[in-house]
Structure 1
Amino acid sequence: MEKEIMLREIREILARGGFEIGEPLFKSISFDLIARGRDRLLILKALINIDALRSEIARELKILAKELEASPIVIGKRSAMGEILDGVIYSRHGIPILSLDTFKDFIIEGEYPMVYASPGGFYVNINGGLLRKIRIDRGISLGQLAKVAGVSRKTIQLYEEGMNATVDSALRLEDYLNVPLIETIDILDFNRYEEERYPYTPRNYEDIYQKLIEIGYDVFFTFKCPFEALSKDNRDIFLTGIGRDTKKIRYKALNLKILTHILEKEAFIIVEKSKYEEIEGVPIIEKEELMEINRKEEIRKMVRERSAI
């Protein structure tokens, strides 16, 4: 119930920020919402306790974000250490985590946080090049700044080279130099596109995987999504459903219809047998048809023709 309330508030924030929202019908998947704004695509997950974000879910979020050119964000309420503080970015497994109010400020006001939580406390990024320039221009020694900030001379050198600083030390330097040194943190570029390759290939889909690879697609299987894979080449990226239970195909197609609209991508579902060439506007490809295809252009043509039926 608490999560549903949080999701409702997130939807309201996104609507106020001018985002279009796609919400899968499936629950218990790697994300809760996908939102498209004028110049950004967000993959969002709501968690009451951010410690519940498992590494495999985070990995899937990062892969989806990379391949779909999106940004993953988790909105949370608390961790084992206490409430999530406003104005601070937390992270788990490389995914940025915000409080609801911080997310609201970012979406509606365009305000980016400056502080992030890390083992040992709260830190900020400072403009090291500016710090060095001002120190040299004003004839201030490393020792003087070290005394002001309460750190060593070596630490001041590392600040100038780009190392992060504690909030206290950064504020002391800003106050002493009367210059803004603390930089905002780009939530959308947070640990952007860390190199992740998900090794998950279901055994019962191995033949489908090999066929898609053979005709020229890179295939990324998922394990907690409303679709089973992303099939990608240098021109297209298809949300790829695989279905064996005919009773669930329509439900899968409905989910894909929602997601393709918001993602501005195309999709198809591979099935053993079907009397339909499309369901809910999503093209259906029989496995036997797939195995007879030799060029990816044939899939592209089939998808375009059947989605127009």
Structure 2
Amino acid sequence: MSNMPMPRDQIITQINELLSKHGFDTSNIYDRSCFDLVARKELLLLLMKVLVNVEGFSVAHAQEIKRVARTFFGSPLLIGLKSKNEVLEENVVYERHGIPVIAPSTLRNIVVEEVYPEIFADRGGYYVEIDGQIVKEMREQHNLSLKDLADLAHVSRETIYKYETGRVRAQPETAFLLENILNMRITLSVNLFAVPPNEEETEIKSGEPRELVDLGFGVINTTRTPFDALVRAEATSKKAESLITDLEKNRNQKVLQKMANNLHDLSAVIGTDAVFIMENKNAKECIDGLPVVKSWEISEMKDPSEFLKMIAERKECS
């Protein structure tokens, strides 16, 4: 029997089928992007990159997938088979450039069994987070002092105190021993689906086209995605309206039609609008059902609402 790893495209196909079978809306597969697949189920939006060896995931790809995920309140996730020469273990969460990393079998357990990993890998080994309040409550219910519980778990009194006050993480063996002693689950699942924190305060102020920036939008240019930029309406409300935007770069009609198909696909899964921004004054008002807005039209607008209104009017034009 061969020990060769499964081909990457086969892993992506299996993940796509798994998610589709269990209620996720999934996108096309985008091989030369910071993400290979986007999937949504209710409020959960996943942007996934799949690699056989996760060491091939660069800082640049990590930064870009985090930008896109932040804009759409999504969760970036890296799925792989190994790191260097070490096989990624099932139900263990790893990390690469600030992106959580799991094996395909871990994703399957989450999707099919709703079993979420509790163990994460870090320098020095494997660890778990402990619910210190539960430990304290159960210790007191069992009429155990800090020293009593420490002796039973073969750790120091100070360590038990740090567990209860959330100051240290635990090795899995110690945590599972405490669970047996207290007859209660005390470990916390790893939060795989967090939205990345905002790391770049100026990222939405330096984009192109300048017409949209001048109109009051935040623009995030991208280089490793099936589109050219993201547009975010900087309104006073907490929920900003997001648009996938494609900027014309002397592309021929065939390329634009292919990009229109990609934008349709992604906008449907993500749940946002998509639009072409064109310099050509003679361009049609839509490409394959995707609205087209010309730069000169934006320059004559007074506020973001006019841009959003034009997109709505040109949707699904013939």
| Normalised TM-score (structure 2) | 0.88
- Counterpart of 1:63 in structure 2: which amino acid? R
Q: Distance in 2 between matches of 1:271 and 1:198?
A: 28
Hey, what does 1:55 align to over in structure 2?
59
Tell whether 2:112 aligns with 1:108.
yes
Deviations 1:128-169 (A, max 9, x none): 001112223433232333333333322221111123211011
- Residue 220 of structure 2 contacts residue 229 of structure 2 at CA under 8 Å; is this kept in 1? yes
Hey, what does 1:291 align to over in structure 2?
299
- Counterpart of 1:160 in structure 2: which amino acid? E
SS at match of 1:246: coil
Higher helix share goes to which structure? 1
Gaps of 5+ in 2: 1-5
- Counterpart of 2:275 in structure 1: which amino acid? F
- Residue 59 of structure 1 contacts residue 198 of structure 1 at CA under 8 Å; is this kept in 2? no
Q: Distance in 1 between matches of 2:161 and 2:85?
A: 32
Deviations 1:92-151 (A, max 9, x none): 122111111110111122111111111111111211001112223433232333333333
Q: Distance in 1 between matches of 2:158 and 2:221?
A: 47
- Counterpart of 1:176 in structure 2: which amino acid? I
Deviation at 1:289, TM superposition (A): 2.2
- Counterpart of 1:159 in structure 2: which amino acid? Y
Tell whether 2:153 aligns with 1:149.
yes
Q: 1:20 aligns with which of 25, 35, 49?
A: 25
Gaps of 5+ in 1: none
Hey, what does 1:93 align to over in structure 2?
97
Hey, what does 1:44 align to over in structure 2?
48
Hey, what does 1:8 align to over in structure 2?
13
Hey, what does 2:3 align to over in structure 1?
none
Alignment of 1:189-228 (within 5 A): 189=194, 192-197=195-200, 206=208, 208=209, 210-228=210-228
- Residue 62 of structure 1 contacts residue 196 of structure 1 at CA under 8 Å; is this kept in 2? no
Alignment of 1:74-85 (within 5 A): 74-85=78-89
SS at match of 2:70: helix
Hey, what does 2:188 align to over in structure 1?
183
Tell whether 2:68 aligns with 1:64.
yes
| Normalised TM-score (structure 1) | 0.90
| Segment drifting more, 237-246 vs 175-184 | 175-184
Deviation at 1:179, TM superposition (A): 2.1
- Residue 205 of structure 2 contacts residue 219 of structure 2 at CA under 8 Å; is this kept in 1? no
- Residue 91 of structure 2 contacts residue 118 of structure 2 at CA under 8 Å; is this kept in 1? yes
Structure 2 CA distance for partners of 1:242 and 1:217, relative to 1, 3 Å: same
Hey, what does 1:265 align to over in structure 2?
272
Structure 2 CA distance for partners of 1:183 and 1:221, relative to 1, 3 Å: same
| Matched residues, number | 303
Structure 2 CA distance for partners of 1:151 and 1:223, relative to 1, 3 Å: farther
Deviation at 1:300, TM superposition (A): 0.9
Structure 2 CA distance for partners of 1:116 and 1:81, relative to 1, 3 Å: farther
SS at match of 2:12: helix
RMSD (Å), alpha carbons: 2.2
Q: Distance in 1 between matches of 2:187 and 2:203?
A: 41
SS at match of 2:106: helix
Tell whether 2:174 aligns with 1:166.
no
